[in-house]
Structure 1
Amino acid sequence: MAWLDRSHTVAHPGFNRWLIPPAALAVHLCIGQAYATSVYKTALVKHFGVGLTEIGVVFSVAIVMLGLSAAVMGTWVDRNGPRKAMFVAALFWAGGFLVGSLGIFSHQLWLLYLGYGVIGGIGLGIGYISPVSTLIKWFPDRPGLATGMAIMGFGGGALIASPLSTALLAAYDPASSAPGGVASGEAVGKLFLTLAVVYLAYMLFGAFTIKVPPNGWAPAGFDPAAVRSHALITRSNVTAANAIKTPQFWLLWTVLFCNVTAGIGILEQAAPMIQDFFRRPGGSSLVTASVAGGFVGLLSAANMAGRFVWSATSDGIGRKRTYMGYLGVGAVLYVLLAFTGSSATALFVVVAFVIISFYGGGFATVPAYLRDLFGTLEVGAIHGRLLTAWSAAGVVGPLIVNAVLDAQGTPGKLTAGAYQPALLIMVGLLGIGFIANLLIKPVDAKHHEPTPVAAGATREI
């Protein structure tokens, strides 16, 4: 298995760095399926005979494990390189679907928690961080663009998984495609088996093709001084151990937590949410299940586009100003959605689209923000530790929304007013994040490494 080692992935002279983003996308497009769970959520509620909150826990466990595994394995990923990390992530992610399908077929909900939640969640965490620091090192001149290219795949995963899952569920259970139809548990189990095979193949493709730059490599004509155009960008380096001792790390942790919690509030309930917003009081919805599935795909496109567009834009306007937009404008849009979103379908879709683009952009911009504050030395490990904010948000976000909705009535038979309390809670969280972002300033020199690594260089850890 020596071919998995970092030493076997060093690029040869003249290697085209633009071949790296497709390798990163191969992993992130697969693990981005996590955003398409609402497609079969109702089917699992019916299959296991439990409430929306119990099924929502599956997603929460997966996100918790994503953050924990990224935090624990971040230094290991930096030390062993992206190929070995992607390979391990592929095994865990596919294995999670296999164990999850066993839980569905056997009516054992705990196995679904263990499979998709714990095992799959570990694959999520390792797979998520595996290409990020590598891309930052390949693109020191455009770190925001680099992280956007990688992480946009995670946001776009549901763009593929949502229609694919809908089509497969209809093929495995034709009755589910009828108006008001719900797929059987057996159909969802078969869907999990299919996704395990497909995702394993694509993630291994990414592992086989990823490369790391040689030590000391830099793009032709690259001037490190040209990158330092904003006050927060440092040319020094901070280790992961020291980074978590700085107030900047925890302020950014708060920023990410607030932004993610608010975004999950929509994504985790996307399909039923649009139906409930346009439901006649006590009657049926004006939005069909197939249209709701299309809405999930549209939000995935927003998630994906925001990760690339806003992150790339941050290279020009700065990471701090970019987050002011995510959090400040996002809060205004949540208020608009809560009180006027049900007045017109087009308004609802446009507002939700922009909100989710901010949510995705927040994920893609944060690695570049970390690079600005702490340098490139251990940015992968620091990123992994910061993703514990995602773990916390993955618990808090769904709990807030599901608890509010469960208190309002029967899931799937609600109206727009039932969502207002949850949406306004999200507005408050975005306000807290906005303040935390304003407080971020350059890291004190006492945390810097005594011998900084030159900008654009890499270092074995």
Structure 2
Amino acid sequence: MTTTDLSSSGPVREVRDENGRLYRIGRTDRDLMGRPRWTMVLFPWMGMLGISSSEYAFTSAEDTLHEAHLWDSGHIFWLMGVWIFFQAAVAFPAGQLRESGRLPARYAMMLGAGGTLCGYLSLAYAPHVTVAYLGFGVFSGIGAGLVYATSVNMVGKWYPERKGGKTGLVNGGFAYGSVPFVFVFTSFMDLSNYQGFLVMVGVICCAVVAFAGWFLKDPPKYWWPAHVDPLKVTDDPRVRRALSKNPPAVHQYTPREAARQPVLWMMWFCLLCTAGINIYGIAMQVPFGKEMGFAGGIVATAMSLKAIVNGTGRGVIGWISDRAGRRNTLIIVCLVLGTAQFGVFVSGNMGSMPFFLFCSMVSGFGGGAIFPLFAAMTADFFGENNNASNYGMVYSSKLVSGLVGAGGGAFLVDAWGYGGAFVFAGSIGLGSAVLALFLKAPGKPRPQRRRRIVPNPQPLGEEMA
């Protein structure tokens, strides 16, 4: 472990731990930004609020869009799938641009705000479904991906010592912001006013994202908070517990180095499965509830509760993972997510509204919790410096899960019915829990097994001296 002063005139110094990892200590958040670092939780959270309605509230507008534009119902689900595809596709290149300095956080957020507005305008005025695919699916999806990649990875850079709860809180904004629009689209929007409502929602979301993005700023590479010594056990019990359960990466992995680690692709596949289940639930819960005879208001309530619990789950699970460990928490979440799919189907067939609402909330909790877990786990395994790119590689699995969960889910329902589709989704969730058992940080030595000490039947004595 070594310490190297960068300059005798400045307070900044570089510290290396026993693994050779570099920490840059000295400058505080107020030195760097002129304000406390908790603002780098607040503003990214606001940015996530602004893009959430495009995914979580979109299917609530299915009936109105179908009647207004005479689009086939299949287009609604594929529109969502294309949006998710491009939202995930931009994660890795956006991370590369961000970390190279060619795309500052503020500009990324402004582009995201413009894409969000473009998406809602295309839904309101598209003369043909192709325009909707381009405006909402492509431009709005890319805009949301820029906002997501910028906001989620910003938090881990400013809170490298205790990133789980903060990352989860920001990630939760991706669901919370949709709640009022679920009710608007379901209860108030119809053929007479849908264009005005869609434009209003687009303007509000665009303004929120642009305002939040104006204040975003990255810390320097290798930055570490001055009040936490990375070479000593801290006195703060929260930080001490978080670092013991989720120790920092042994090395700041570049994307090329991270891609050589098998665990990154295991994480990719695990997120593919769990995100696909989450998106399937978002896309299919509204039509399933209606087919089971639940009133539109009940279905809207179920979807809103799902979104609320989805967002809450992201924040709470990050806090829990700081205490219990990221991998252990992920295993439990996968079990909960898989089991909930069976519950949603059974409750719908029973016609039990309370049970349906409960299972919907449990499914929302599990579906939301996976994203901050993988975001924080990527930083734990591969470091914070290139987390936008590294998490972009893991998050790119949503390219497939979006299409499979939304469009593929509709295909499974047509082929197998809701029963077969929900059983398949539940089984995938349980299988993901098994896969999560094998996720371990690369480069860290495995704890050695203690040798069993066998008593010597012939101890040294005077006769053997």
Q: What is the TM-score of this pair, normalised by structure 1?
A: 0.82
1:193 to 183, 199, 203: 199
Query: CA separation in 1, counterparts of 2:345 and 2:304?
Result: 22
The 2-side partners of 1:13 and 1:271 are apart by: 44
d(CA) in 2 for partners of 1:48, 1:378: 44
Other-structure match for 1:213: 219
Gap change, CA 1:153 and 1:439, over 3 Å in 2: same
- Does the 8 Å CA contact 1:72/1:385 hold for their aligned counterparts? no
Is residue 42 of structure 1 aligned with residue 63 of structure 2? yes
Partners of 1:422 and 1:402 lie apart in 2 by: 9
Match among 357, 362, 387 for residue 349 of structure 1: 357
Identical-residue share of aligned pairs (%): 23
Deviation at 1:336, TM superposition (A): 3.1
More helix by share: 1
1:336 is matched by which residue type in structure 2? Answer: G
Indicate how the Cα distance of structure 1 residues 341 and 222 shifts in structure 2: closer, same or farther if over 3 A, else same.
Answer: farther
| Aligned 8 A contact 2:245 2:325 in 1 | yes
1:104-253 residue pairs with structure 2 within 5 A?
106=127, 108-166=128-186, 169=189, 183-184=190-191, 187-214=193-220, 217-224=223-230, 226=240, 227-230=242-245, 233-253=248-268
Tell me, what secondary structure is at the counterpart of 1:209?
Answer: coil
8 Å contact from structure 1 (residues 259, 326) kept in 2: no
Separation (CA, whole Å) in 2 of partners of 1:17 and 1:25: 13
Note the residue ranges of structure 1 that are not aligned, 5 or more in a row. 1-8, 170-182, 280-286, 409-417, 447-461
Distance 1:211 1:149 in 2: 18
- Alignment match, 2:428: 429
Partner letter of residue 149 of structure 2? I
Q: Does 1:383 align with 2:374?
A: no
TM-score of the aligned structures, taking structure 2 as reference length: 0.81
Q: Does 1:84 align with 2:107?
A: yes
Is 1:315 aligned with 2:335?
A: no
Paired residue type of 2:333: Y
| 8 Å Cα contact 1:74/1:385 also seen in 2 | no
CA drift at 1:394:
0.6
Q: Distance in 2 between matches of 1:56 and 1:433?
A: 25
- Mapped to 1, the partners of 2:419 and 2:186 lie a distance apart of 29
User: Residue 455 of structure 1 aligns with which residue?
Assistant: none
- 1:20 aligns to what? 40
Equivalent pair of 1:67/1:385 in contact (CA under 8 Å):
no
2:419 — aligned with what?
420
Shift of 1:137: 1.5
Corresponding pairs, count: 404
Q: How far apart are residue 256 of structure 1 and its match?
A: 0.8
Q: CA deviation at 1:193?
A: 1.7
Structure 2 unaligned blocks of 5 or more: 1-28, 232-239, 446-465
Q: Shift in Å at residue 369 of structure 1?
A: 0.5
Deviation track 1:79-123 (CA, whole Å, cap 9, x = no partner) reads: 3332121111111221222233331xx2x0010110110000000
Maintained 8 Å contact 1:63/1:121 = yes
Question: In structure 2, what residue type is equivalent to 1:239?
Answer: T
1:191 CA displacement: 2.5
Contact 1:28 1:153 in 2 (8 A): yes
Partner-residue secondary structure (3-state), 1:130: helix
Per the alignment, do residues 231 and 271 of structure 1 end up closer, same or farther by CA in structure 2, a change over 3 Å counting?
A: closer
39-48 vs 359-368, which deviates more? 39-48
The match for 1:292 is 299
- Aligned counterparts, 1:84-103, within 5 A: 84-103=107-126
Distance 2:34 2:198 in 1: 41
Q: Say which one has the larger Rg.
A: 2
Choose between structure 1 and 2 for higher RCO, CA contacts under 8 A separated by at least 6 residues: 1
Partner AA of 2:200 in structure 1: T
Correspondence list, 1:275-286, <5 A: 275-277=290-292, 279=293
Distance 1:224 1:27 in 2: 31
| Pair 1:366–1:216, CA change in 2 (3 A) | closer
Per-residue CA deviations over 1:189-241 (Å, capped at 9, x if unaligned) read 33322222111211111012223335564335313354541377423211112
State the partner residue of 1:3. Answer: none
Q: Within 5 Å, give how 1:50-65 maps onto structure 2.
A: 50-65=71-86
- Aligned residue for 2:193, secondary structure, equals helix
Q: Pick one of 262, 269, 277 that aligns with 1:262.
A: 277
The correspondence for 1:74, drawn from 90, 95, 104, is 95
Q: Distance in 2 between matches of 1:218 and 1:233?
A: 11
Q: Do the aligned residues in 1 keep the contact of 2:245 with 2:323 (CA within 8 Å)?
A: no
Once the two structures are superposed, what CA deviation does each residue of 1:393-445 show, in whole Å capped at 9, x if it has no partner?
1100123331233457xxxxxxxxx4211111102221332232122222147
> What is the one-letter code of the residue matched to 1:276?
E
